[in-house]
Amino acid sequence: MMTRSRFLLITLLALAGVLTFFKIPLASSQGVTIAAAQVDGALPLDDVESALWQEATAVSIPLSAQIVARPLFPQANVKAVDARALYNDDQIAFLVEWEDDTLDETAVRVQDFSDAVAIQFPLVEGQPFFCMGQQDGNVNIWHWKADWQAGMNGRQDVDDVYPDMYVDGYTFADTEAGAAAPVSSYEDVNYVPAMAADNLYASPAYASPVEDLIAGAFGSLTSQSAEMQNVQGHGEYADGKWRVVFSRDLASLEAEDAQFATGQVYSLAFAAWDGANEERNGQKSTSQWVSLSLGAAATDSAVTESASADSTAPRPAAPASGGSASSANSLEGVAFALVPMFMLVGVMALAAVGMWLFTKLPDKKK
């Protein structure tokens, strides 16, 4: 016989199942503020264990799977990152940490994917869509990659993964350099068009493990030119955890870069990729917008200044689809606004029905 206690237990289990299936968090990142600590002297740009990081409070930022743009990837692994920030008179630095059971620092083979983490800043006043921005709402993205970090000491190539490979189709001017030969050593640069075009992915050596990018909606991600790559980074993996430092000057001469000044509050968002889970590109975990305070008291209004007030900055190239912008531009944020609303209404309706049924059930007999 169904009693009130049994009905209540079944209802709670059903609710827990629904929350788990739809990956609905019981806590959100809304209202979270990272208070950057001001320090004297140099910042620990390549020291993840520096005592200076203890001057700033680490903030846990919840992440969830990106399920707006296809291919959807609801099984993303990274659930949260811990972030803190330091700044001095000239530079700002972020330390981002997250748990990862495996070290994935190569992406040479087609079946391999690298661990990665990114920080995103709006380039317009207010907060554009937190997944890659939107039309007329560009974002500046700092994307650290574990394979680029590993490549700082020497570019990884196919001959590193397959040391016994045999190549007879390319002629090198410098035979000792092999696959890592610079463009100038090739007798014919037609063999290496990506290198000749200064494509960062084809660089013989990386100047930084962080790629500086611009986006204005899904499908518009654009890497800044080599001379505009001004974000530095350093990452270390130990004891099942990644710790990554991002750093850059507070002010940048580039119009498409985020700008920082003491006494202001900014928006930023995070994304992370687990290479072992085959996460790459849009298959990732993302946060919503959180706040960054540089010597300013955080308020509920959160953002008093955008990361750049120059809304006339050049836009990233639109995806090639008949010359139009991404088809997701106008509707890409609708799912994140309407789906939780409808789910809340549904839960409230079910709760009302459940309460009505609860009053009709007999108490447990003693």
For the chain, 366 residues long, the average pLDDT of each consecutive 10-residue run is: 67 70 52 93 96 96 91 91 97 98 93 96 91 91 96 80 73 61 69 80 85 92 92 97 98 93 95 95 94 71 41 42 35 49 71 72 60
Domain-wise residue ranges, the chain: 1-29+333-366, 31-146+211-330, 155-204
Give residue 49's pLDDT: 96
What was the pLDDT predicted at 363? 63
pLDDT value of position 221: 92
* Pair 287, 61: CB distance under 8 Å: yes
pLDDT value, residue 132: 87
How many angstroms from the chain centroid is the CA of residue 59? 16
- Quote the pLDDT of residue 355: 73
CATH 3.40.50.300 is right for the domain spanning 31-146+211-330? no
149-166 residues labelled b (16+ CB within 10 A) or e (exposed) = bbbeeebbeeebeeeeee
Question: Which pLDDT score is estimated for 48?
Answer: 97
Partner residues linked to 269 by β-bridges: 120
Three-state secondary structure call for residue 17: helix
- What is the radius of gyration, based on Cα positions, of the chain? 24
pLDDT at 206: 86
**How far is it, in rounded angstroms, from Cα 291 to Cα 32?**
6
Q: Which of 190, 194, 196, 224 is nearest to 210 (CA)?
A: 224
Give the pLDDT of residue 291: 96
Q: Is the dihedral of CA 64, 66, 72, 73 positive or negative?
A: negative
* Strand, coil or helix: 95: strand
Sequential DSSP letters for 119-144: EEEESSSS---TTT-BTTB-EEEEEE
* pLDDT in the model for residue 137: 92
Question: Facing residues of 273 across strands?
Answer: 116
Count of beta carbons in the 10 Å neighbourhood of residue 26: 6
* pLDDT at site 295: 85
